Amino acid sequence: MLLVKRVYDEPSPEDGKRYLVDRLWPRGIAKVALPLDGWLKDLAPSGALRAWLHHDPTRWEDFAPRYRQELEAPEAAALAARVAAEAREGTVTLLYAARDRERNHALVLKDYLERLGAGV
């Protein structure tokens, strides 16, 4: 099962494996203070794509397909397949720092992983 959660939300036992899926470390959180099983920078949008979006909601519809295309790159695709396999075995929580809970890359990534067969 895949869950999506803001990195600033309290961790819970139901989170299962917790992966940060942002390219940059979240502001205001010490690395030793964040319970994580890994930081998967290669599953985050590229710096160029992130800069292009610049939190502009009018660009969201164009952002999602561009991000999915980046996830098809060999290194990202291999990592995504691994995370999807882990989600078939147990719960995986994708952590992100963006403020917008309805339009963020972690939701696009969750959808992508579910299409790989990660389940719901």
Largest CA-CA distance found in the chain, in angstroms, rounded: 37
Give me the average pLDDT of each 10-residue run along the chain (120 residues): 96 96 94 94 93 84 93 95 95 94 94 81
Contact 29, 114 (CB under 8 A): no
Q: Whole-model pTM above 0.85? A: yes
Domain ranges of the chain: 2-118
For 35, the token pair is 């319970």
Nearest to 112 by CA among 26, 10, 40: 40
DSSP-derived letter for residue 88 is H
Nearest to 34 by CA among 5, 15, 7, 62: 7
